[in-house]
Amino acid sequence: MPLTPLDIHNKEFSKGFRGYDEDEVNEFLNQVIKDYELILREKKIWKNSWNLCVNV
């Protein structure tokens, strides 16, 4: 099953010794979510356009 923006948002990572900067990771994940949502919207538009062309 494909990931959803909510899956990305809710993903939790374990913390290890000298782990990643949590704020930096969260900022990056927020950007990934925005980009992923945009791609999903564009996919829906293209799919609708395709269906219109096929059904003409």
pLDDT at 10: 93
* b/e burial code for range 38-50 (CB count within 10 A of at least 16 → b): eeeeeeeeeeeee
Spatial CA neighbour of 30 closest among 3, 2, 1, 10: 10
Instruction: Locate 42 and state its tokens.
Output: 């564009």
The pTM is what?
Answer: 0.74
Tens-digit pLDDT profile for residues 17-55: 888 888 999 999 999 999 999 999 999 999 999 999 998
Instruction: Locate 41 and state its tokens.
Output: 């919207």
pLDDT at 56: 73
